[in-house]
Amino acid sequence: MATFENFDLAHLGGIELFTPKFEESLHFFRDICAMREVERIGDSAYLRCWDEYQLYTLKLTASDTNGVGRTLYRTTSEEALQRRVKAIEDSGLGHGWREPEVGVGRSYEFEDPDGHLMALYYDTEHYVPDDEDRPALKNQASAYPGRGINARRMDHINYLASDVNAAGEFWRDVMKSRESERVKLDAGGYGAWWFRFHQKSYDVVYSDDWTRQRGRFHHFAIAPDSREDILKAADICLENGIYIEYGPYKHAINQTFFLYVWEPGGNRIEFATAQGRLILDPDWPVVEWSQAERAKGQAWGMKTVPTFHTHGTPFVEHQEEIDRAALEGREFVLPEGDVENE
Ligand SMILES: [Fe+2]
């Protein structure tokens, strides 16, 4: 039975992404994805997709490494914010309130059980289009860019976790998100776990990190308008020298149509259509997939690319060689003289 608390979270509000190749990553998001830069502070560029009502959803930060920084989530009301903050405080994972910053009012910072930094907020700054990107219709946040991939909105985030079970239990029991699908391991526990806030079938995902390191990142997904846009995104990435990892193809789990690329900073970015399948039944049960079912591959039978299970950010030592070995179907062997990391 659904409860009111199931709807405390509104949506994924913003992601900070680290890149060691700032200018190249900025070119990818701004010029190839057609996001708009709305603010530049210090080492960070703030970017938005054309149909997002908030000021920004991507904070791109120059760094000596790649990976994900803090993720912001908007609540559905001030009361919902207070409810979830209380639950997070009780869990012992809260860091405390933070002052208002670019685009958002005061926020409550915390970490998930795997150490990913996050914050909840309710007060937000609505984007006001200028003459250059004022839309023709008033029910649209800004003008359709009509260039590149035309990224419409941020869709979901997928974290790598050293312990998917602990992270999933946190999102189910503390954040009160609704499970949509999960992969049950033969040995017990879950290898991946999908959560939704409303009727879109997922907003937050955790996947098992084979390295057992904490706090790493698998990908976030940007939604263009249509499946055709994702096919075109593959052509555009090809023309621009962006590494295509996998797809375009259709997922078995949650049935999204997808394309995975690695942006110039090494982070995996997905283009996905998540609007095709909605979960309307308030009592819809979680869909569980066995390891054997998962191993069958994606919707139409193509096997999942091996790097999907080896590549994450920040890179572990020898990440590129590990990925290459996986693609070539051979075991990665540590270079002579190297000692394996913890
Ligand atoms: Fe995804």
Q: Is there a contact between 237 and 223 (Cβ–Cβ < 8 Å)?
A: no
- pLDDT tens across 59-106, in order? 999 999 999 999 999 999 999 999 999 999 999 999 999 999 999 999
Residue 341 lies in a domain: no
Burial class (CB in 10 A: 0-12, 13-18, 19+), 172: middle
In the chain, the number of structural domains is: 1
For 42, half-sphere exposure in the C-beta direction (CA atoms, 13 angstrom radius) is 6
- 131 Cα to the center of ligand 1, angstroms: 34
Tokens of 183: 């992969």
Is the per-residue pLDDT at 298 higher than 90?
Answer: yes
pLDDT band for position 342 (50/70/90)? very low
Cα of 133 to ligand 1 centre, how many Å? 29
Helix (H) or strand (E) holding 167: helix 164-173
- pLDDT for the residue numbered 339: 57
Average pLDDT over residues 9-29: 98
Distance 156 CA to ligand 1 centre (A): 7
Domain assignment present for residue 187? The answer is yes
The helix/strand/coil state of 303 is: coil
Which of 8, 292, 317, 313 is closest to 159 using CA atoms?
313
The phi and psi torsions of 74 (rounded to 5 degrees) equal: -90, 140
Longest dimension (CA), the chain: 63
Residue 134 Cα to ligand 1 midpoint, Å, equals: 30
For the entire predicted model, the pTM comes to 0.96
Each residue of 185-234: pLDDT tens digit? 999 999 999 999 999 999 999 999 999 999 999 999 999 999 999 999 99
How far, in Å, from the CA of 162 to the mean position of ligand 1? 18
For the cut 60, the answer to whether the pLDDT of residue 2 exceeds it is no
CA of 138 to the centre of ligand 1 (A): 30
Q: How far is the CA of 273 from the centre of ligand 1 (A)?
A: 10
Give the distance (Å) from ligand 1 centre to CA of residue 132: 32
Q: What would you report as the CA-atom Rg of the chain, rounded to the nearest whole angstrom? A: 19
65: in domain: yes
Residue 271 dihedral angles phi and psi, to the nearest 5°: -105, 125
Spatial separation of the C-alpha atoms in residues 268 and 254, rounded to whole Å: 19
Distance from Cα 183 to the centre of ligand 1, integer Å:
14
* Domain boundaries, position 228: 4-327
pLDDT in tens, 248-295: 999 999 999 999 999 999 999 999 997 778 999 988 999 999 999 999
Q: Would residue 342 count as lying in a domain?
A: no
Tell me whether the omega of the peptide bond preceding residue 314 falls within 30 degrees of 0, making it cis.
yes
Pairwise CA distance, residues 321 & 301, whole Å: 27
CATH of the domain at 182: 3.10.180.10
As given in the structure block, the two tokens for residue 332 are 């990665």
Whether 103 is covered by a domain: the verdict is yes
Confirm whether 255 is domain-assigned: yes
43, two tokens = 């080492």
Distance 217 CA to ligand 1 centre (A): 12
